């Protein structure tokens, strides 16, 4: 399947590492000019930008906390001034919290909801105004299989990701047909989020007890995003695609 995104500008949030990095690299390899968002990761994002440039692609980095509306507005203005109007938005940035429900502090709950869900509202609103004026655009929201499965001790994360699913379907209905809005609900993927620094060994083992018997490489999630951003997905509206190794079958 040939996918040519030449002439398109894509913004990928949280693209210094993991799935976001792989999505940014894949979109750039398909010809899009990519705005790389990061939050306090100057070193990592510089390496991503340099790698894309070395491969003949176009990328520029933009720092912003995507849970902060003013920072998001400034970032979108900077991107449009430097690269042009945003055609493709990938809401990928996210954080994880493993904690028994009764021990979660209000500030911890608020931070997970802000980064994992409110950021999708903020970034989507910031780019949709221009997309509506131009009559075209595409948004891809990264949720999680856990939005559907639920998981003990990951309640804030699961609630936020389930919110992303509802937001994706509602936005898809509100902005169709000119703008296509879909999402991806990945299964376990080999990134920092699945490392033992962020989740316990017991949960990591349970995450990998799936038909595929392994975690995905970030590139196996990124390929789904390139498809959704392309004309090959022009009949897709409000869908959550599930590269999840069989963890969830729908």
Ligand X SMILES: NC(=O)c1ccc[n+]([C@@H]2O[C@H](COP(=O)([O-])OP(=O)(O)OC[C@H]3O[C@@H](n4cnc5c(N)ncnc54)[C@H](O)[C@@H]3O)[C@@H](O)[C@H]2O)c1
Identify the CA nearest to 90 among candidates 222, 232, 238: 222
Residue 168 near ligand X by CB under 6 A: no
Cβ burial, residue 200 (10 Å; 0-12/13-18/19+): exposed
Nearer to ligand X, 134 or 196 (CB): 196
By CB under 6 A, is residue 65 in contact with ligand X? yes
Q: Between residues 135 and 148, which has the closer beta carbon with respect to ligand X?
A: 148
CB atoms within 10 A of CB 201: 8
**Closest separation in Å from C-beta 189 to ligand X:** 4
Active site residue 157: yes
Q: Which is nearer to ligand X, 104 or 210 (CB)?
A: 210
Per CB under 6 A, which region of 24-32, 33-41, 77-85, 175-183 contacts ligand X? Answer: 33-41
Shortest distance (Å) from residue 38 CB to ligand X: 6
Span interacting with ligand X, options 47-55, 82-90, 93-101, 228-236, rule CB under 6 A: 93-101
Asked if 127 and 137 count as a contact pair (C-beta separation under 8 A), the reply is yes
Give the 3-state secondary structure of residue 47: helix
Query: Least distance (Å) from ligand X to the CB of residue 85?
Result: 21
Q: Which stretch binds ligand X (CB under 6 A): 26-34, 49-57, 121-129, 186-194?
A: 186-194
Among 47, 152, 178, 192, binds ligand X (CB under 6 A): 192
DSSP 8-state code for residue 139? E
Phi–psi pair at 122, nearest 5 degrees: -65, -50
194 binding ligand X? (CB under 6 A): yes
- Contact assessment for residue 75 and residue 64, using Cβ atoms and an 8 Å cutoff: yes
For ligand X, the binding residue among 191, 224, 225, 230 (CB under 6 A) is: 191
Please spell the DSSP secondary structure of 85-102, one letter per residue: S--EEEE---------GG
Per CB under 6 A, does 92 bind ligand X?
yes
CB 66 within 8 A of CB 37: yes
Torsion of Cα atoms, 3 then 239 then 25 then 249, to 10°:
-110
Question: In the bound complex, what is the minimum distance in angstroms from residue 93's beta carbon to ligand X?
Answer: 4
The sheet with strand 33-38 has its strands ordered as 58-63, 33-38, 9-12, 88-91, 137-142, 179-184, 240-241
Please identify, among the stretches 3-11, 60-68, 128-136, 175-183, the one whose residues bind ligand X according to the rule CB under 6 A.
60-68
Residues noted as catalytic: 157
User: Residue numbers of the site for ligand X (CB under 6 A)?
Assistant: 13-14, 16-20, 37, 39, 41, 65-67, 92-95, 115, 142, 144, 186, 188-189, 191-194
């Amino acid at each position: 399947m040939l996918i040519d995104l030449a002439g398109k500008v894509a913004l990928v949030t949280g693209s210094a590492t993991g799935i976001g990095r792989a999505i940014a690299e894949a979109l750039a390899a398909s010809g899009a000019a990519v705005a790389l968002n990061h939050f306090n990761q100057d070193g990592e994002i510089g390496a991503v930008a340099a790698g894309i440039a070395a491969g003949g692609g176009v990328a520029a980095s933009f720092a912003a906390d995507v849970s902060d509306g003013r920072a998001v507005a400034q970032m979108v203005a900077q991107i449009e001034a430097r690269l042009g109007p945003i055609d493709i938005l990938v809401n990928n940035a996210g954080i994880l919290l493993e904690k028994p429900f009764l021990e979660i502090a209000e500030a911890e709950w608020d931070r997970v909801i802000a980064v994992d869900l409110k950021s999708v509202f903020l970034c989507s609103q910031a780019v949709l105004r221009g997309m509506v004026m131009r009559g075209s655009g595409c948004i891809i929201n990264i949720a999680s299989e856990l939005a559907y499965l639920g998981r003990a001790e990951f309640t804030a994360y699961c609630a936020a990701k389930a919110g992303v699913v509802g937001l994706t379907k509602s936005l898809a209905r509100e902005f169709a047909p000119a703008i296509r809005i879909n999402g991806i609900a990945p299964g376990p993927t080999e990134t920092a989020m699945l490392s033992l620094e962020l989740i316990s060994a017991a949960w990591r083992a349970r995450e990998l007890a799936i038909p595929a018997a392994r975690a995905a490489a970030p590139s196996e999630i990124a390929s789904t995003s390139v498809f959704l951003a392309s004309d090959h997905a022009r009949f897709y509206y409000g869908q959550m695609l599930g590269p999840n190794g069989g963890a969830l079958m729908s």
